Amino acid sequence: MPAVVLVGPMGAGKSTVGALLASRLGVTLRDTDEDIAAAAGKSVQDIFVDEGEAHFRAVEADAVSAALAEHDGVVSLGGGSVLADQTQVLLKEHTVVYLRVGVADAVKRVGLGSGRPLLLGNVRGRIKTLLEERAPIYESVATLIVDTDGRSAADVADELATAL
């Protein structure tokens, strides 16, 4: 069982905070986007383009399930993974940290030239919509909510390492 699972939207800092937190806790980080890309032999972006979002979500639900079962360190989930009912159920058994971020900071962190497939065209507008749609889900699965706006990843990781 993982020590902690990080959820939150793109630009929340899950990967960066996850790496720092894992090192502070003396464990390793597992990132489900990386698992999916490694298994497919291509980037998440290319999976979206070649196979479509529905296929990605199915693969993602399986990758999350495997990571939660196998990894005992920090697990960082892709921003949309909480959309899956199966994932919402599995997360009930874990310590889940929601890294909360506002639109402005999320846009700054992902960058306007983001290669993320769901942000193509209008990064700010897409992030705003995704945050509004998903915030209630992140809140519902979270054991702990940490605000990341205006904060460094190190600061957030320090708070979590103390709180957990």
Binding residue numbers: 11-16, 33, 57, 79, 116, 134, 151
Yes or no: say if 116 and 78 are a contact pair by the CB < 8 Å rule.
no
CB of 107 to ligand S3P, least distance (A): 13
Q: Is 10 helix (H, G, I), strand (E, B) or coil?
A: coil
Enumerate the β-bridge partners of residue 144: 97
With CB under 6 A as the rule, give the number of residues binding ligand S3P. Answer: 10
Work out whether 43 is an interface residue with ligand S3P (CB under 6 A).
Answer: no
What is the DSSP-derived secondary structure letter of residue 11? T
Q: Find the part of the chain contacting ligand S3P (CB under 6 A) among 18-26, 85-93, 114-122, 151-159.
A: 114-122
CB of 71 to ligand S3P, least distance (A): 16
Residue 24 vs 57, nearer CB to ligand S3P: 57
- How far from 43 is each of 85, 106, 124, CA to CA, in Å? 24, 21, 23
Q: Find the part of the chain contacting ligand S3P (CB under 6 A) among 63-71, 77-85, 97-105, 149-157.
A: 77-85
Question: Residue 34: is it exposed, middle or buried by C-beta count within 10 angstroms (0-12/13-18/19+)?
Answer: middle
Work out whether 78 is an interface residue with ligand S3P (CB under 6 A).
Answer: yes
Q: In what order do the strands lie in the sheet containing 74-76?
A: 29-31, 74-76, 4-7, 96-100, 144-147
CB of 109 to ligand S3P, least distance (A): 10
Work out whether 117 is an interface residue with ligand S3P (CB under 6 A).
Answer: yes
Provide the binding-site residues for ligand S3P, judged by CB under 6 A.
10, 14, 33, 44, 78-80, 116-118
